[in-house]
């Protein structure tokens, strides 16, 4: 048999194989195209079913920030209206116990966004003269905010609920004893000492005596400080007036954890023999320390 005869006999088989392979490749290509079209359609459907939630996105920007509640609220379950005002009754605490770490943001219902996190306590570091954040991980927080669907309005509400860091408006909403810590040169509001001379008598002399404590009460501890075994010394400055009453109390060196507020509350009830100058009782500037020792956490 010649080579030409052999070649002619093989051609029909080759043609059949090529046609079969071609059909398979075409089928695979068509299948891939169909799969891509199905996946694209599914993605379009998901996008249509789950539109972008601009309000939730705005709330999510709070995650990871150094936040404080402007209301200084003690409650761990809080609700705010569309303008960022707390709804219902809420007690206030010291700002050093009003920190929040937002960990998660969800829309739980139409018109409501929930921010979940933990409360944070502030501790003063005397060597750096800075406040450090200490998460109270067993004190969970839930903050529900009303939204009207207007993302810009919701962002304004967030600014009314939270301070990022210790901003000026937050300081201005604190009690005077804290405002004078952040701004020692700040003028005191009109009070019984307005227009009067305040003497500085650091030590007794032949003609002058310093104010002397006659009655004191102990400052109470906060549960957060007890839980974290916080101790230290709060340094205060004040004026003892000519009647022996402490006035214009301000924090000079804090501890945090709400203990500074407790120290001020206690010292405001102390009584003194006033300073004397040439036989006359006078208003005098005084600085003093209130010591907090570690106490057991309450059960």
CA 189 to mean position of chain CA atoms? 29
Q: Greater confidence, 66 or 299?
A: 66
pLDDT of residue 6: 38
Q: Cβ(80)–Cβ(157) under 8 Å?
A: yes
pLDDT digits 0-9 by tens, 125-135? 999 999 999 99
5: its two tokens: 């005869």
**Domain 177-188+201-292 fold:** TolA/TonB C-terminal domain (3.30.2420)
What pTM did the predictor assign? 0.80
Give the chain's largest Cα–Cα span: 145
Q: For the residues 245-260, what does the mean pLDDT come to? A: 97
DSSP state of 95: G
CA 265 to mean position of chain CA atoms? 24
Distance CA 178, CA 158 (A): 24
For residue 260, pLDDT over 50 is answered with yes
Band the pLDDT of 282: cuts 50, 70, 90.
very high
Q: Are strands 77-80 and 130-146 parallel, antiparallel or unpaired?
A: parallel
Burial of 107 (0-12, 13-18, 19+ CB in 10 A): middle
68: its two tokens: 């404080």
For residue 298, pLDDT over 60 is answered with no
């Amino acid at each position: 048999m010649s080579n030409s005869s052999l070649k002619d006999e093989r051609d029909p088989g080759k043609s059949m194989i090529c046609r079969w392979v071609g059909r398979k490749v075409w089928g695979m290509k068509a299948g891939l195209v169909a799969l891509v079209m199905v996946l694209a359609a599914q993605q379009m459907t998901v996008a249509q079913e789950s539109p972008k939630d601009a309000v939730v996105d705005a709330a999510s920007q709070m995650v990871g920030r150094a936040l404080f509640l402007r209301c200084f609220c003690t409650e761990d379950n809080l609700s705010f209206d569309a303008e960022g005002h707390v709804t219902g009754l809420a007690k206030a605490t010291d700002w050093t116990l009003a920190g929040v770490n937002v960990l998660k943001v969800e829309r739980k219902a139409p018109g409501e966004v929930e921010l979940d996190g933990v409360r944070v306590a502030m501790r003063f570091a005397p060597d750096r003269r800075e406040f450090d954040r200490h998460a109270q991980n067993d004190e969970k927080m839930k903050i529900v905010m009303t939204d009207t669907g207007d993302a810009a309005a919701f962002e304004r509400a967030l600014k009314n609920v939270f301070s990022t860091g210790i901003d000026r408006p937050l300081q201005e909403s604190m009690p005077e004893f804290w405002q004078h810590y952040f701004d020692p040169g700040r003028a005191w509001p009109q009070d019984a000492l307005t227009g009067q001379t305040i003497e500085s008598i650091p030590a007794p002399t032949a003609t002058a005596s310093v104010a002397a404590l006659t009655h004191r009460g102990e400052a109470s501890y906060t549960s957060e400080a007890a839980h974290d075994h916080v101790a230290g010394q709060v340094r205060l400055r004040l004026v003892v007036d000519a009647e022996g009453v402490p006035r214009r109390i301000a924090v000079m060196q804090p501890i945090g954890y709400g203990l500074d507020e407790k120290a001020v509350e206690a010292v405001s009830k102390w009584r003194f023999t006033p300073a004397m100058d040439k036989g006359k009782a006078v208003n005098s500037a005084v600085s003093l320390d209130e010591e907090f020792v570690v106490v057991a956490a309450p059960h």
